[in-house]
Amino acid sequence: MKATFRLGKVAGIEIGIHYTWLLAFVLITWTLAVGFFPDAFPGSSQVVYWVTGAVAAVFLFVSVLVHELAHSLVARSKGLTVQGITLFIFGGVSSLTEESRSAGEEFAVSIVGPLTSLGLAAVFGGAYLSSKGHPSPVSALLGYLTLTNGMLGLFNLLPGFPLDGGRVLRAAIWGATGSLYRATRIASTIGQGLAFMFIGIGVFWVLTGSIFSGLWIAFIGWFLNNAADASKQETVLQETLHGVKVSEVMDTEPDVVPNSMAVDVLVREYFLHRGKRALPVQEGGVLEGIVSITDVKTVSVDNWPYTRVAQIMTKGQVHSVGPETDVAEALRLLAEKDVNQLLVLSDGATIGMLSRENIIRYVQLMSSMGISKRPATRLKRSS
């Protein structure tokens, strides 16, 4: 999930918030100001309740941030690259560029989040007990943070992927079976079952009069189901592509254009007539860069005839892979760099182009033939 607003860095990790966080902030502040805090310390003004509610909402998301930082810092200590942390309506998510490389690594990265939340609950709970007997905004705030961090820790320990507990379960199955794919499928299926349970509870609550709470828990169930299903589909894709080399999927005869070509010719002859989205730019057999539809959009249509490819192309370091690179790794690079295609280079020369369309077409062909994974290469028997 991409952040809408960037807040800065903590321990070198980029922190951002998604626009849905603003909605959550308003909802949490409102529910606390009109319900929780008036019961916790009656007799105060509405202004005090609203201010305390807003402070509580901020502290809640700080707690979520600490939870996600724990994941990210442990992941980084294991050698995994952390792109950043994004806070959104359901909490937060740490963006890692790759999966854990072992079951033990997966377990360590996953379990630290819930343990951190439970640790925060213990700290806030100790502070709350020291102030008990003196109802006040501070005491009520500490009680709320104790409750929410405890619930956050316990909720995330539920054994449904992609919750932390589901990742812990996946680590256990992975360690027992030696198969990450099988572990992900099982954990995701359990996650979907858990999600449907939440949806069912939400519907029941709505029918019995708790409309807001019912809709909220049903929405959480819907979100978990989508996330679990996406993880399962991604696993199927990764398993299908396992062992497949870029050379087997790439376009082996990509069109190449010179840097002197006019943009209107590029658009007419290659993008429109041939359906290309990006092309290598070569001059005298030397790769100079790549030009894409995105580059063309930077120039007004009226100026296309007077603009050369050299003026708009992406120069310098171009994202590329080798022909022996695993397609699953290439797909990860496409997602990480947020590009639609990669040049395939061998000894510095362009020998092909790999696009998302190439990969999708390969997977669809495999699916249409009823093949779930790449057939093993049959070795010829010598006579």
Each residue of 150-186: pLDDT tens digit?
999 998 898 888 888 888 998 999 899 988 888 888 8
Cβ atoms of 70 and 13 within 8 Å: the answer is no
Distance CA 159, CA 163 (A): 7
Cβ atoms of 90 and 64 within 8 Å: the answer is no
In the chain, where the domains are located: 5-241, 246-368
Residue 378 has pLDDT above 50, yes or no: no
pLDDT one-digit tens code per residue, 267-304: 998 888 887 878 888 777 677 888 888 888 888 998 89
Exposed/middle/buried for residue 22 (C-beta within 10 Å: 0-12, 13-18, 19+) = middle
Cβ atoms of 250 and 344 within 8 Å: the answer is yes
- Look at residue 381 in the predicted model and tell me its pLDDT: 38
Cβ atoms of 64 and 6 within 8 Å: the answer is no
Tell me the pTM.
0.71
* Paired tokens of 179: 């198969």
- Look at residue 135 in the predicted model and tell me its pLDDT: 78
Distance CA 215, CA 85 (A): 27
Pairing of strands 5-10, 13-17: antiparallel
Pairing of strands 341-346, 320-321: parallel
Per the model's pLDDT, the better-predicted residue between 30 and 275 turns out to be 30
Per the model's pLDDT, the better-predicted residue between 254 and 120 turns out to be 120
Cis preceding linkage at 323, omega within 30: no
pLDDT one-digit tens code per residue, 325-370: 888 888 877 777 777 778 888 877 778 888 888 888 887 787 777 6
CATH number of 246-368: 3.10.580.10
